[in-house]
Copies of this chain bind each other. A is one copy, B any other.
């Protein structure tokens, strides 16, 4: 690829036209299904893209950590879901501040977190809406039975400063029945305790095609905004839907079949997403990034009919895009095929 843009590599570059198309596609799916769109901040961590999502019809923004919610709340986003157990004494005052600035929902899967959330709100007239996180098969966080979910809902409903709001799940791929059944049983048990479930949050880009089928009222998708090789492998995107490419320079070719690019694990990350290799050279699809050192990408060129040359800029589609943008302060933008400035990654590294 010719270096028309005098590109300083390695750098991720995002195509804003593809981003806008991806945002519109999810919004249409949500609107058609009558499900509220709460896209996930974790992928782009950019206030500008979050605003594009709101402008297209999203009702709020989901994030994973309190530090991300602080950035969103400070920027005036009015409806934020932290889809994560927030816990730790250093977070209490921070949590109350966010809850006083914005409509804040937090997910929770255990009474220790529920009590912490409640204590954090002491002295405040605001309240945190709390979703009970349910593990419907992914085996990450989440209560593992409808009974536990209903019991935790009652704990939450009884704590000052909290409002029980409903359920959250990150359902595994495949059969929706375990999730639907979990939700139905929990709804029944909660009703017996006098609690109504008004919100059910589901999520994940691979599940976009079937939004609504587990009875969710809102949806959290993150990766869809950029897409990556994992989403292609999951059947949720094509290469044309992938908005972020890492531009890297081929800096060494000491052995005929081995090239080194200037993007290693500190740019592409070591996250393979369970796929082979560490990204696709889209202009040389027969090439294979077979290893990464911190600043070296090792490329096997043996299968390439035409080989990239030293000094050439190559474009890498990452396996998993979310941790890639988290490594940058600013990434490049293009629009209509032309450079379009920089995108600030406001919540880079905001994991606290």
Q: Give the dominant DSSP class at A's interface.
A: loop
A88: nearest chain-B partner, CB-CB = B249
Q: Which of A99-132 contact B (CB under 8 A)?
A: 109-110, 112-113, 116
Instruction: Check A85/B327 contact, CB under 8 A, given A252-B110, A254-B110, A270-B270.
Output: no
Give the contact stretch, choosing among A25-33, A138-146, A180-188, A208-216: A138-146
| Interface size of A in residues (CB-CB distance below 8 Å) | 67
Q: Kindly list chain B residues whose C-beta atoms are within 8 Å of the C-beta of A228.
A: none
Instruction: Check A140/B293 contact, CB under 8 A, given A10-B352, A328-B349, A349-B266.
Output: yes
Complex CA distance for A330 and B269, rounded to whole angstroms: 20
Please tell me if the beta carbons of A90 and B8 are within 8 angstroms of each other in the complex: yes
Please tell me if the beta carbons of A254 and B135 are within 8 angstroms of each other in the complex: yes
A253: nearest chain-B partner, CB-CB = B110
Please tell me if the beta carbons of B11 and A352 are within 8 angstroms of each other in the complex: yes
Q: Kindly list chain B residues whose C-beta atoms are within 8 Å of the C-beta of A258.
A: 139
Q: Which of A57-102 contact B (CB under 8 A)?
A: 64-65, 84-91
Complex CA distance for A329 and B90, rounded to whole angstroms: 18
Instruction: Check A270/B271 contact, CB under 8 A, given A90-B6, A251-B85, A295-B84.
Output: yes
**Interface residue A276 (Cβ < 8 Å from any Cβ of B):** no
Q: Which of A34-61 contact B (CB under 8 A)?
A: 42
**Interface residue A323 (Cβ < 8 Å from any Cβ of B):** yes
Instruction: Check A262/B87 contact, CB under 8 A, given A109-B252, A110-B254, A144-B255.
Output: yes
Q: Which of A250-276 contact B (CB under 8 A)?
A: 251-255, 258, 260, 262-267, 269-272
29 A-B pairs within 8 Å (CB atoms) are namely A7-B90, A8-B91, A8-B352, A9-B352, A10-B351, A64-B295, A84-B262, A87-B251, A87-B262, A88-B313, A109-B252, A110-B310, A112-B311, A140-B298, A141-B251, A141-B252, A141-B254, A141-B260, A142-B252, A263-B351, A265-B269, A266-B323, A266-B349, A267-B351, A269-B270, A270-B272, A294-B323, A326-B327, A329-B349
